[in-house]
Each structure stands twice: as C-alpha cells, then as structure tokens.
C-alpha cells in the first residue's frame, strides 16, 4: 500500500535543573534513572490530554550506558514512571547528540506511521559516570593511525580547532563565553528559562533532603579578567579553558513528539514542526566542525540559505566550535538569532541530554517571535560527527496566515 509521511510536531519539553558533576553537585546522591522518571512524569502532568497508553515509544539516550543509566533506560524509566506496561522503550547513544537522535528517530517512526506519539530525551550523570568510563578503545585507532590520539579527548579536539582557525583567538573565545553567561543571567531574570524546569527532589547524607529548582552551573559574576586568567588544561599555553567550555554536568531532558493530526485530535499543543534533519561525519580530531556539513546538507536539501533561518540553537560544547560555525556561515559573534538565551557554556552540557534542551528553548523562542519561520538546533558530536534539525514555527502560520500569504516578509 502507498504510504505518505505524516508531519511531526514538538508538543512539549521539560528538563531537570542541570547540576555540577562531582561529590558536591546537586545530584551527587541522586540516581540518573530517577532524573528521567521525574521528567516523564512531569510531561504527563503538563499534558493531561495525552492518554499514557497512546505513547508508542520511549526513547532515552545516555552516553555511558552502565550503572544507573544502563539497563535499556528508555524501557526501565517508562516502567518506573508508571507508564502502562504496553508502552515499549529503548536506549540510544550518539554521544552529545543522544537526545537529539532519540527525537529524530522517534519522529521518523511517527512520520512513517509506526507510532502516533513518543517521548524522547536523554540523561547524563557525569558525576556517577565520567565520560569514557568503562570504554576500551580498539588499539587499531592509534596503531593504524585511523585517528589522531587527540580525537579521544574532547578538549584536545577544541585546541585542534584553534590551530585550524588561528583567527579564533582565546580572547575571542572568552568574549563569546562571557556573552553566554550574560544572556543566561538575563534570561533567568526575565523568567524565560524557568518554565521548562521541573523541580527535582534531592538528598544528601550530610545535609538531608532538598529541592533542585534552578541550574547550578551558571556563573553570572563571570568577568573577562577572570576568564583570561584560567588555566588551559589540554595544552600548555593553549586556548581552551573551563570558562570557554561547557562543564561536566548531570541532568535529564524529555519531550513529547506527535503526529500533527494526532496532536490536534488530543488537544495537544503543536509548538513547532519538524521539517528535516541531517547527520554528518568529519575527522574525529576536529569533531567541533561537525555542525557545518550537517547544516549545509540540510539547507541544500530544503532549498534554503542561512538567511532564511531566523533562530539558531547551537550547543556550546566549546566556544571555538560555535565560532567556527558562525564564521563559516558569515554570522556575527553577537548575531541575535544565535542562542538568544545563552547556551551550554553557562547552563551546562550533560552530554546525551542536551539536544532536547536546544529544542525546548527554540520552541519558547518561536512563541515569542511569530514572524520567524525557520529555526535550527545543531551540535557537534564526539568521534567526529555533527547533527542539525530544521524546525518550522507553527505560531507563524497561526498568527500571520502564512499559508494564505506566502509572500509574507520577514518570515525567516
């Protein structure tokens, strides 16, 4: 029988506040799977029109799939969250783009008609499971020179980008990082980030029980002088510091995706529409340039240019990685389309969870900008990859009658 792909929409997204990894972090004594359970339950609470039995899949990503974020966490978290046993789930890994891949994979299933609604997200407890824990890289990578040894150390790959693009100086990377901290502080002060946060119960053997309600990593008192004086741990007299990079963090994200007609049937909001997505591979030792070919492929396939894109949510793994993307597309460092509420340098980057954070911020930004038609969520990925998703603002059509007026000006 002939099949036609269905439109897929982003219904809603939530996340736990992000914590600092380590023995003094918010979630030092909290399980990773409990973070995911909290997110799933909050998604259902916020969307009472969604019958739990209509959920066709729970896709949860984790980079380090052992311990409390192992055991096919998409399925186990669904059971722990109280979803019907008939709801299946799975785990997925594409390192930093885990949650993004969970969302695109679930969306593809919906578009094909294999399910109507899905929950997709990610978790990373880097305090319990440091990046690379339990990994045994095949010695052929080095012995056969398949990759440079720096490819296995993300900070070193960022230093390699500084080598490749010497015009991206440490001072420029620090300035970008300072801007991220400032934008996050302003967004918090304006109440823009808090609506997507779900309070998370925490405990400490020393301090007792508490409630995590805000992100722990932001440093609103950051100064240019302070950034300039930080050590460069990946290379003597290098460029990459703890101040112009995302930190080591713990946290979970989740979102509801649905076929657009099903969202309408259930009375669920359609905050933005998934148009297309692209993944690309690059040399692992310069993995930070991955978003460039992924975005180029996506724009070309949809007959668009960067001038057509009104919002860009790019994961700030390293400032140099973002700046290389901006330079390639001739975008200014302070372009208001880019991470208007700040990014991972300030908020944190719990690896596999970050892709859905980009999506929920983009959805909120779309709602504030009904004149914007297209937006991107994009990120680099360890071992040499990039990912980009193209989204369309459903609010544009609702508020401007775009379908009837295709010459609407300003619909970027």
Active-site residue list: 96, 349, 380
DSSP states of 193-205 as a string? SGGGB--EEEEET
What's the half-sphere exposure (Cβ side, CA atoms, 13 Å) at 178?
Answer: 14
308: its two tokens: 């057509």
Element (H, E) at 77: helix 73-80
| Strand-strand pairing, 249-259 and 8-15 | antiparallel
Instruction: Give the integer Cα–Cα distance in Å for 99 and 14.
Output: 13
Closest CA to 326 of 347, 299, 346, 306: 306
**Is residue 221 classed exposed, middle or buried when 0-12, 13-18 and 19+ CB atoms within 10 A define those classes?**
exposed
Q: Strands 117-125, 55-61: parallel, antiparallel or unpaired by DSSP?
A: parallel
Distance CA 256, CA 14 (A): 9
Determine how many CB atoms are found less than 10 A away from the CB of residue 148.
16
C-alpha dihedral (25, 150, 96, 298), degrees to nearest 10? 150
Instruction: Name 12's Cβ contacts closer than 8 Å, sequence gap at least 6.
Output: 43, 46, 47, 255, 256, 268, 269, 271
Q: Which of 184, 170, 168 is nearest to 222 (CA)?
A: 184
Rounded-to-integer distance, Cα 105 and Cα 392, Å: 18
Select from 238, 212, 242, 206 the least CA-distant residue to 227: 242
């Amino acid at each position: 029988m002939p099949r036609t792909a269905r439109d897929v929409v982003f219904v809603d997204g939530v996340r736990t506040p992000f914590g600092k990894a380590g023995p003094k972090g918010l979630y030092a004594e909290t399980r990773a799977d409990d973070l995911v359970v909290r997110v799933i339950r909050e998604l259902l609470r916020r969307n009472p029109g969604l019958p739990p039995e209509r959920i066709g899949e729970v896709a949860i990503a984790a980079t380090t799939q052992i311990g409390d974020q192992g055991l096919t966490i998409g399925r186990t978290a669904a059971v722990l969250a109280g979803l019907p046993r008939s709801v299946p789930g799975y785990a997925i890994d594409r390192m930093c783009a885990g949650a993004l891949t969970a969302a695109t994979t679930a969306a593809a299933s919906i578009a094909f008609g294999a399910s109507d609604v899905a929950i997709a997200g990610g978790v990373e407890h880097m305090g319990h499971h440091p990046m690379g824990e339990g990994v045994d890289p095949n010695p052929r990578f080095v012995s056969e020179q398949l990759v440079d040894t720096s490819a296995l150390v993300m900070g070193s790959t960022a230093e390699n980008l500084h080598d490749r693009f010497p015009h991206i100086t440490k001072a420029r990377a620090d300035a970008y990082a300072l801007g991220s901290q400032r934008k996050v502080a302003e967004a918090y002060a304006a109440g823009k980030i808090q609506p997507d946060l779900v309070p998370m119960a925490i405990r400490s053997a020393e301090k007792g029980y508490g409630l995590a309600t805000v992100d722990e990593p932001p440093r609103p008192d950051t100064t240019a002088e302070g950034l300039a004086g930080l050590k460069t741990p990946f290379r003597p007299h290098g460029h990459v510091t703890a101040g112009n990079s995302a930190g080591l963090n713990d946290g979970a994200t989740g979102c509801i995706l649905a076929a657009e007609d099903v969202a309408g049937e259930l009375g669920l909001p359609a905050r933005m529409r998934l148009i297309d997505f692209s993944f690309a591979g690059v040399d692992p030792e310069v993995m930070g340039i991955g978003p460039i070919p992924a975005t180029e492929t996506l724009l070309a396939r949809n007959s668009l240019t960067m001038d057509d894109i009104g919002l860009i949510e790019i994961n700030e793994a390293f400032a140099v990685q973002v700046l290389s993307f901006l330079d390639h597309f001739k975008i200014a460092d302070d372009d208001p389309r880019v991470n208007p509420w700040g990014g991972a340098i300030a908020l944190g980057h719990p690896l596999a969870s970050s892709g859905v954070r980009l999506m929920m911020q983009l959805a909120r930004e779309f709602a504030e900008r009904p004149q914007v038609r297209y937006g991107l969520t994009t990120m680099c990925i360890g071992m040499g990859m990039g990912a980009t998703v193209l989204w369309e603002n459903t609010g544009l059509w609702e508020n401007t009658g775009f379908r009837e007026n295709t010459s609407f000006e300003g619909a970027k």
